[in-house]
Structure 1
Amino acid sequence: MNDLLQGLAKLFSQAYLKGVEDGRKEAVIDTKILDRKDLYEEFGIKVDTADKYYLYQPDFPFIMQGTKRKYYAPAVHQWLLDHQQTSN
């Protein structure tokens, strides 16, 4: 019986941690369309930095409005999450 309780406790703990992890991935970003200069206000990315490191990456998300590139905030947020680097 003790093994069963320990197994259930471990299962509940794993489920809880998974829920916390999933919750952290939820976008808390307004669903708005941004231009280059809005990236600083929304994400803290300066225009020069955005141009140099982000906006022209092959998989960076954008939409065209006329002849201008625009950026859907939740897609940019997800891209940043997917491309973050961590030190091991």
Structure 2
Amino acid sequence: MVDAWANADARALEAELQYEKTQDSVFASILLPRLIDERNRVMADRIADIARSGPKSFVAVGALHLVGKDGIVERLRRRGFTVRQL
């Protein structure tokens, strides 16, 4: 996961997240939805509010929150925001 993050390899990060979601474990069934999915929704809402408050914004979040159709990046893009990696 660290190599994927360091190389900006979103596909590898998403593959790691999807793999973890398929595991038969408490982590996959209870913790992942709370730690990733629910927090993505909340963080995307807060980031949208921050972005509306001024012309430029900088936000840092954990790498697994960025990828996937329900990740923060896609949630913000669906709202019309432009998101770019620095």
TM-score with structure 1 length normalisation?
0.29
TM-score with structure 2 length normalisation?
0.29
The structure with the greater share of residues assigned to strand is: 1
